[in-house]
């Protein structure tokens, strides 16, 4: 993969945010001989072997809710073979058990593709029990199950990723009609993680465009409706600290992102749709130098955020206006309530929400749920209960041509 150089980097304490860099070539080809320096004057090449080395350590979590079998199969076909697939589903289980269809699709696919995978349903009582034992009681709702939000599903995905002992986790939304775009996201994750100089690194994707139906024809819109607002206020926050206006953040709502587990295990995650924007907020809180950090090793090394603009359009089902509004509100709620948020940003958020009719005058935006880091959980205890009680938990082993089997993706910890 060939990328443009990022020309500008903003800092927020120990957090280094690189300006958006575009993908130049999906496949930069060639051998080391062709790219002796690894980068030319105008662009940066990540050779296939370097991508492969990251992919071997990369878990791709697919949060999934009621997607059709065909769409899921397409997404799976786009994930590079060496990445480990983890499906975390929150799909309906009645009248038709859609999770069963998904798990079957995954198992069928993995058999043909000779690769392993993991799957679990977010509302499995056994999963809730496992998380409770691990020390994540906050995730559990009144029904005794893991809360139904996207952030909660992603947290489950990160816990499973950690149990596989791989080093990186990436997230890819299941509602994507273009397998080639999914492939590009994963390659961009690998490229960004390879280029990162810090062990505490994150890669966030900004898609090239989003095709929309508009008066019977296609229009390729450049920015999402939720992202525009989220990015605006995150950039305002940085600008209030630095006294210089900035547009550096282009990926406030990036559903597609990847990070080192060294970083991920230290991050707090928000519930629902606040999860992605809260990642920036949490980095600012924990490593921004405004508040005390619990992680001097991270402060000493810096956190690197890379933003990559893909070539493929993001072509997915339109989830409607309500979905966009939810995303926007939850993003602003977490920023508003952050201890690093400055009064001018707070005022601007309240003004915006009031003007939108989303908030009564003088009212406070609601708080979103924020969970402790996955690194604080007792994951070995979680695994015990998961294995014994979670009925929807599937370890799909890689099935070799000769009928030989390899080890399951998660192996029991040897004491």
Q: Which stretch in 81-89, 140-148, 286-294, 407-415 sits in contact with a second copy by CB under 8 A? A: 81-89
d(CA 157, CA 261): 12
Residue of 52, 69, 323, 367 that binds a second copy (CB under 8 A): 52
Q: Which stretch in 42-50, 131-139, 233-241, 270-278 sits in contact with a second copy by CB under 8 A? A: 42-50
In the region spanning residues 14 to 33, those forming contacts with a second copy, defined by CB under 8 A, are: 23-30
Extract the tokens encoding 182. 């999914």
Which residue's structure tokens are 């939720």? Answer: 226
Based on C-alpha coordinates, what's the Rg of the chain?
21
Encoded one letter per residue, x for contact with a second copy by CB under 8 A and - for no contact, window 154-193 reads -----------------------xxxxx-xx---------
Strands (E) in 108-147, as ranges, are 117-121
Give how far Cα 11 sits from Cα of 4, 61, 132, 209, 238, Å: 20, 29, 37, 27, 9
d(CA 7, CA 241): 21
Question: Is 67 near a second copy (CB under 8 A)?
Answer: no
Question: Is 313 near a second copy (CB under 8 A)?
Answer: yes
Extract the tokens encoding 117. 């995978």
Question: Is 384 near a second copy (CB under 8 A)?
Answer: no
What is the closest distance, in whole angstroms, from the C-beta atom of residue 73 to a second copy in the complex? Answer: 9
d(CA 189, CA 255): 12
Encoded one letter per residue, x for contact with a second copy by CB under 8 A and - for no contact, window 193-232 reads ---------------x--x-x--xxx-x------------
d(CA 250, CA 223): 9
Which residue number, 394 or 398, has a Cβ lying nearer to a second copy? Answer: 398
Contact (Cβ atoms closer than 8 angstroms) between residue 165 and residue 409: no
Residue of 94, 112, 355, 360 that binds a second copy (CB under 8 A): 112
Q: Is 210 helix (H, G, I), strand (E, B) or coil?
A: strand
Using CB under 8 A as the criterion, which residues of the chain lie in contact with a second copy when the complex forms? 2, 4, 23-30, 37, 39-43, 48, 52, 55, 70, 74, 77-78, 80-83, 109, 111-114, 177-181, 183-184, 208, 211, 213, 216-218, 220, 311-313, 315, 400-401
């Amino acid at each position: 993969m060939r990328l443009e150089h990022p020309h500008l980097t903003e800092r927020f304490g120990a957090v280094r945010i690189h300006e958006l860099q575009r993908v130049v070539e999906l496949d930069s080809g060639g051998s080391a001989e062709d790219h002796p320096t690894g980068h030319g004057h105008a662009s940066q090449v990540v050779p296939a072997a370097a991508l492969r080395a990251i992919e071997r350590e990369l878990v791709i979590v697919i949060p999934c809710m009621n997607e059709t079998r065909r769409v899921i199969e397409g997404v799976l076909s786009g994930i590079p073979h060496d990445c480990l697939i983890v499906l975390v589903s929150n799909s309906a289980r009645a009248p038709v058990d859609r999770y069963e269809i998904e798990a079957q699709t995954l198992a069928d696919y993995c058999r043909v593709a000779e690769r392993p995978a993991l799957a679990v349903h977010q509302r499995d009582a056994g999963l809730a029990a496992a998380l409770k034992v691990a020390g994540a009681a906050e995730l559990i709702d009144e029904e005794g199950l893991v809360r139904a939000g996207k952030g909660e599903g992603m947290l489950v995905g990160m816990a499973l990723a950690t149990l596989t002992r791989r080093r990186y986790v990436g997230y890819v939304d299941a509602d994507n009609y273009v397998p080639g775009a999914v492939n590009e996201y994963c390659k961009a994750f690998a490229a960004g993680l390879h280029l990162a100089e810090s062990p505490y690194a994150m890669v966030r994707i900004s898609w090239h465009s989003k095709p929309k139906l508009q008066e019977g024809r296609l229009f390729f819109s450049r920015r999402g409706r939720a992202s525009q607002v989220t990015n605006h206020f995150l950039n305002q926050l940085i600008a209030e600290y630095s006294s210089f206006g900035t547009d550096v953040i282009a990926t406030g709502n990036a559903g597609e992102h990847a990070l080192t587990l060294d970083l991920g295990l230290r991050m707090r995650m928000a519930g629902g749709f606040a999860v992605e924007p809260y990642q920036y907020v949490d980095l600012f809180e924990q490593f921004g130098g405004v508040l005390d950090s619990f992680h001097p090793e991270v402060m000493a090394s810096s956190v690197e955020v890379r933003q990559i603009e893909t070539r493929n359009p993001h072509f997915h089902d339109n989830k409607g206006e309500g979905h966009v509004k939810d995303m926007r509100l939850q993003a602003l709620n977490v920023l508003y309530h952050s201890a690093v948020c400055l009064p001018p940003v707070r005022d601007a958020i309240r003004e915006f929400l009031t003007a939108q009719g989303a908030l009564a005058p003088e009212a406070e935006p609601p708080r979103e749920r924020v969970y402790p880091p996955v690194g604080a959980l007792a994951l070995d205890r979680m695994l015990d209960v998961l294995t014994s009680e979670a009925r929807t938990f599937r370890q799909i082993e890689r099935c070799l041509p000769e009928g030989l089997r390899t080890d399951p993706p998660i192996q029991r910890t040897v004491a």
